Each structure stands twice: as C-alpha cells, then as structure tokens.
Amino acid sequence: MQEDNDKSKVARKRRRVEEKDSEEEDSVFSSDNYSVDSSAEGSIEYNEEDGETDENISEKLEEVEAVIEYEDIAEENVLKETKTKESANEDIIDRALRYKDADREGFGKDIGILICATTALAVMIYLILTLLGLTAPARPLVVSKGATKPFFLPNQRRYIEDSYDGSIRLSTNLTMSVVLLYSPYSIKAKWFREEYYNTAKAMKKLHGDWSPYFGATNCFDTNSYCRRKYNLKKYPAIMAQNSGLMGSVYNGPLNAVYMTRWLNRLQNAVFRLHSPEDLTNIARTYDLIVILYHEVRTPPTGFQSAHNFTKLAYHYLDGDPNSERTMFCVVNDAKFAAQLQLHNEHDVVIVSSELKLLGTHYKGWTIDSVVNDLYRKSKEMMKNRIEFLNLGKRFHSTQLVEKFQQSSVLLFFTKNIRYGNERHQMLRDIVLEYRNCPMQDLLSIEVESSHKFVNNCSISVQGAFCNVNNTLSFMMIDSEVENVLAAKYGADIEDMIVAINSKQEITRYMRGNITREKINCLIHQHHNVADNEFITESTSIIMPTSEPSEDIHCDAVGEPSMVKFVDNPSELLKSRKINVILFSGGIWHSASSSAIAPFHLVANHFKESRNLIDFSMVDASETNLPYNLDFEKLPKILITSADSVGLSWTYPEEFMINHTNIARFVLSRPGKIFGRLRWMDSCQGACRKRAQWQMRRKRLQLKRQLSRNVANSMRPRIQIGYYDRMLRMIS
C-alpha cells in the first residue's frame, strides 16, 4: 500500500516538471525574446542571459519540487482525515448498533427481575396484613364524613326543594309549608322518600298553584341550623305550617295516602255550619264535633277566638287516624248558636254524634284546656266506637296489647281505611246498634231475645252489648300499613274479620266477601258459640300447644320480662330502690338494639332481688327527657341509689356493654343498699334458706324478750322491724 502511494507521488512530480518545462520553452521561443534581425551584441547578451536562465531554472525546479511535496503532504493529510472521519463514523454506527442489541437483551432481563420483585413484595405485604389481622384486636373502621349532597333524586326535586345544607326554608307565598326533616343515613327516611314525593305530586295535581310548598332539610349534621334547633333522635319528622304561623306535627303512618288526607284536613281545618242539616250530615260520619260561636266584626274583637280555634285544630289534627273522628266547626248565626246552647260569643261546645252535649268551654278558654278535654273524650269514644290501630311512628306502642287486655276484640283487617267510606260506615252502624242499650235509649224498640238468633243469626244485634258477657270492642287495621300483623293472621291478601276473646284466643274469623249480615252472625256466634257455614272455627287455624320440657331455659318465650318501659323517667329518680335505666335511641338505632339483649340478661340475673332493684328502659326517641338526662350519645345506662335521692352513676363509655360488665358495675357501687344486693347475689339456694331460718329464730327470740320486758321495748322493736324487712327482701 505504501509503495503504491510512493509511485503515484513520483508520477505526479514528473508530470508537473514536464508541464513546467514546456511552459518555459514556450516563453523562450516566444516573439518577445527572439528576433531574426538582432545584432551580434544582442546574440552575445542573449547567451549571457541564457546562462543565467539555466541557473534560475534549476532553482525554480527545486522550488517547484518543494511546492509539489508540500501539496502532496497536504493531500495526504486530507486523505488521512477523510479516512479517519469515515472510520470514526463507521465506529459510531457499529457501537450504536451494539448498544441497541445489548439494551434489548438487558431490558428483557430487567422486566423479569422487576416482575419477580413486585410479586415477592405483594406476597410479603399480604402475609404481614394477614398476621396483623389475626393478632390485632378487632376495631371498627371509622370513615370520615363525606360532603353533603342532595337526598332526593333529580326528578323528585321538581316538586320538593331539598335543603341538604341544613337550612329550613318555608313558602314565600301564602300557601302552606310542609317540611320533612330527614337523615341521609336513616333507613326509614330513605324508604319514606318515595312516599313523600308521591304526596307532593298528588297535592300538586289536586290543588294546582295553591298546592302546599314541599321542602326537605338534612337535620343530621351537627353543625347545621336544623340540628341545633331540634336535636332529633328519630327520623323522619314532618311539620306543616300555614301562612298564619300555625303549625302541626305529623304523627300518623308513613304512607302517602294518610299524609295526603292529613294535609287536606289542614287545608280546610274549620268547617262553617249554616243550618242544622249541615250538623246532621257531619254527625253521621264523625264522632266528636267541636263548635265555636263567632260573629264576624270589623274591627275584630280583642279576644281572637277564630285565630285560636284554627290553631287548636292544627294542634289536634296530627295525622293520627283516630284524630279524624273529630270535626271543627264554626257558627256565625246567633239563632242557630242558641239551638246549640251557645249563648255567648267565643264559647266552645263539644258534641257527640248523637248530638249530645259533652262539654262546654266559655270565653277565655285556652288551647291546652280544650285539647286535653278532646283527648279525654276521644279515648272514651275509642272504647265505645271504632279504634284505629296506629303503630306508625310510635315504636314500642302498647295500643294493641291494651286493647286485648281490656276485653274481647273484633279486628277488621282491610285496606285504605278512612272515615266515611263504605266499610267504615258499615262497621260503625253495627257498633252503634250493638251498644244501643234499652235502659240508655228510651226511644229504642224492644227486639227478640238472643236465644232465637241461633236459627237466623244475621238479624239485628240491637242491644247485644247489654245482655251478654265477654262483650266486644272494635278495631280497624289497615292491612297495607300493618302488613306484618296482617300476614300473621292471614289477612294480607283479602279483607278479614277476627274475633278474639279476653284470653287472647281466636274464637271465630271470616274472610272474603264481608257483609253486614255476616258480621252480625259472627258476633252472635262469638257470644253463643254456634256454627255457620261461612264462619270458621278457631280450631282450624290454631295449632295445638305442646307442653314445654321441664329443663327448658327459664328465659323462654312467654316469660314475663324483668324490664319495664317508662314514659316519665323523673319518677324513677324518686324511687326508694336501686334503678338501672337504659336510655335507648329507638328501634332503628343499631347500637341501642345491640344493648337490649345483655340488659335483659342482667335483669334476669337479679330477678331474685326485685325488692331491691328495678330495671327500666326509656326510649329517648319517643320521650321528652329533662335536661339532666338528655344524653348526647346513646345508648346510656344510668344507676340511681336508694340511699340518697340524686346520687347516680353512669356506665362508662369505654366499657363494652355486656351482661357481665353491667352486673359487676352495679354490684361495685358503694352504699348500704348495694351491700344488701351483693349479699343477696352471693347468697343463693341453701345459703338463703339458712339465713331465713336464722332471721326467723332471732326474730322469735326478740318477740319473747319483748313480751317479758315491755319497759325496755324500743331497741327490740327496731330489731324486729329490721328482721321483718330482711325477710321480705329475701323471701
């Protein structure tokens, strides 16, 4: 390779030298330096110059060779740089390709390592969490409260204004305002949401632009205005208020039909009587009629009887079906008022359906006095007329139990109950006929004796209430509202009548096509124990009872409960016994529901010490508690001492609510009466019998000592009284 380069250099040098020589020859033989007519001198000079030119030519050749060598060296350097750059570029590309291949191989290896490491880390975390879950104590997960959001659906908010921020908004027009106070976490409030929407839609369709304003407020947030004002323990709650600031609180079944009827009654709370015929028509349907005599004057008188009377109607009409038996009327004519024994303006009378005067309230009456009188008269009417079962919002209601304990009951299960419909009017006429005694009604016509009813039992039941034992009271139950109770008797599909005697045994029942003649026959069958083709015997629906085994648990179904429900807890604070009180948040409060079972177990544990200790339960959602018993957190257990009135202990919140902890907490309280309780708890069976025998023996000795020494009788008498109390306590 080097020899080829040298040869090319020599060839280039020769070629350049030849080019230079040819150029010089051309310059020597040119016309400027040579002429034919030149002289000898000229020729001599030329020869001299020519000699000098040869020397110059040799020097120039050397210079040319040096230049040629320099140029060759420069060309060689350029060629070397070019080859170096080309080789460098080739090396960079090869290196990049090699790096690319290496990166591909390394990336595949890194992916596998990364997947293995991630899997190992996940398995390790899972094992650690599993071990922590097995060893750590169980603790409830506390989730932070989220932001408030609308409770009603978008299509429902067209009729209902949802104030989910906790503010209470009323109607800006002259229409009535209906407000629902709800909790977004309440199951019952969520269930009632659709019923409330149906009520608003029905009222809008019925009244149009004069429909009430329907609003809803989130009353659960502790920082909201609604919670600070009302502090509800139970949801939902419904209020209604007219433009005159007259309010009513709904206390009926959470059903759209009943709520619509309640609002319609409030829309027309007072009815004006123009003639006696109006009063007669009202008396055919309603049991109680409240009448006000008021003359319209301009300007109005000082005593605003009309305003107070409307406020009275709003306060009394609370949606309870039993309150629908009462009608509020006003009379403006003085002559007509005199016929009703309303001789002075602003007087109020209460009249029965037979147009008998039941009570009079004169000018200056108060709303509370008239309402209390109405409640008393209404309870009397429920005994003598038809009572409606309204468990509705009243949990732990004893209405049905009290009805069974009073007398025999005729239960009429039907749907869509309201005053004035065919089924209610049919049963109401039967009740009026059944309780129409001859000695009370001088105009009654004597009917045949009851022994002839066996052949034809469908004839009248006139005066049967006065001549037979085991008389009936009447109750109507809406099978759609009380569907659980209706399903228990098999009345959830069709109408049904059940006769239950005072022993709470079903004597007769009837279902299907119910007529007045069949009801009359069932009543006679109940009293005379006769048979009929459409009356079913009780033995066909009641299963025979089996005798329980001797070793059955003492707290079986049917045993009397040691815990009593209390409406007024302030009376317990004055008791001379130990009182253990459970303040519950209601049947829908899960924490309170879980505390009921251990509380019953503790009460059953101390059942032998009933003379010393009482167990009570107070439903805070149904009872207005005094300020010192209005606990913020429920359930709460309070223990009061009989040694000193006002001394009490509260069960600590950090203790788990179970029967063992509650029993130990009760027994560890200081005091004399708690010492007796501890002794009775530790002394059972033979110990108690031995203690009774010893106390009776000492008591007998003291009586003998007292009979011998009457003068010093004070101390023996005190000791005898002590032993009497102890014997009563442990007996």
Hey, which of 124-138, 282-296, 563-577, 670-684 has the most confident mean pLDDT?
282-296
pLDDT reported for residue 727 = 67
State yes or no: pLDDT of 542 exceeds 50.
Answer: no
State yes or no: pLDDT of 300 exceeds 80.
Answer: no
pLDDT reported for residue 7 = 57
What are the structure tokens assigned to 455, written together?
Answer: 């052949």
**% of the chain beyond a pLDDT of 70:** 67
State yes or no: pLDDT of 53 exceeds 60.
Answer: no
Hey, which of 145-154, 329-338, 586-595, 620-629 has the most confident mean pLDDT?
329-338
Average pLDDT over residues 227-241: 87
State yes or no: pLDDT of 179 exceeds 80.
Answer: yes
- 66's enclosing H/E stretch is helix 40-135
- Residue 389 contacts by C-beta under 8 Å, 6 or more apart in sequence? 399, 400, 475, 476, 477, 478, 482, 485
Q: What is the mean pLDDT of the chain?
A: 76
Place of tokens 């009979």: 707
Q: What are phi and psi of 494, to 5 degrees?
A: -135, 170
Residue 141: pLDDT band with limits 50, 70, 90: very low
The architecture in CATH of the region 156-262 reads 3-Layer(aba) Sandwich (3.40)
The architecture in CATH of the region 563-682 reads 3-Layer(aba) Sandwich (3.40)
Q: Choose the weakest-confidence range: 224-233, 413-422, 554-563, 570-579.
A: 554-563
**% of the chain beyond a pLDDT of 90:** 13
pLDDT reported for residue 458 = 61
Q: Which is more confidently placed, 535 or 560? A: 560
State yes or no: pLDDT of 268 exceeds 60.
Answer: yes
pLDDT reported for residue 159 = 92
pLDDT reported for residue 468 = 64
Q: Which is more confidently placed, 178 or 522? A: 178
Q: Choose the weakest-confidence range: 105-109, 321-325, 541-545.
A: 541-545
Residue 41: pLDDT band with limits 50, 70, 90: very low
**269-384 and 386-540, same CATH topology:** yes
d(CA 359, CA 370): 10
- Please count the residues of the chain: 731
pLDDT reported for residue 146 = 54
Average pLDDT over residues 499-507: 77
Average pLDDT over residues 638-643: 79
Average pLDDT over residues 647-674: 82
Residue 635: pLDDT band with limits 50, 70, 90: confident
* pLDDT tens-digit series, residues 182-198: 988 888 888 899 999 99
Contact criterion met (CB below 8 Å) for 269 and 328? yes
Report how far apart, in Å, the C-alpha atoms of 508 and of each of 388, 411, 460, 540, 655 are: 21, 11, 19, 10, 52
Residue 35: pLDDT band with limits 50, 70, 90: very low
The residue type of 116 is: C
pLDDT reported for residue 464 = 66
Q: Choose the weakest-confidence range: 20-34, 233-247, 367-381.
A: 20-34
d(CA 48, CA 39): 14
State yes or no: pLDDT of 550 exceeds 70.
Answer: no
Instruction: Please state which of the four CATH numbers 1.10.1740.10, 3.40.50.2300, 3.40.30.10, 3.40.109.10 is assigned to the domain occupying 386-540.
Output: 3.40.30.10
Q: 284: how many CB neighbours lie within 10 A of its CB?
A: 11
Residue 32: pLDDT band with limits 50, 70, 90: very low
Q: Where are the domains of the chain?
A: 2-26+45-131, 156-262, 269-384, 386-540, 563-682, 686-730
Query: Which superfamily does CATH assign the domain made up of 269-384 to?
Result: Glutaredoxin (3.40.30.10)
Q: Choose the weakest-confidence range: 15-19, 150-154, 237-241, 621-625.
A: 15-19
Residue 541: pLDDT band with limits 50, 70, 90: very low
Q: Which is more confidently placed, 562 or 616? A: 616
pLDDT reported for residue 50 = 46
Q: Choose the weakest-confidence range: 42-56, 586-600, 668-682.
A: 42-56
pLDDT reported for residue 688 = 65
State yes or no: pLDDT of 153 exceeds 70.
Answer: yes
Distance of CA 180 to the CA centre of its chain: 13
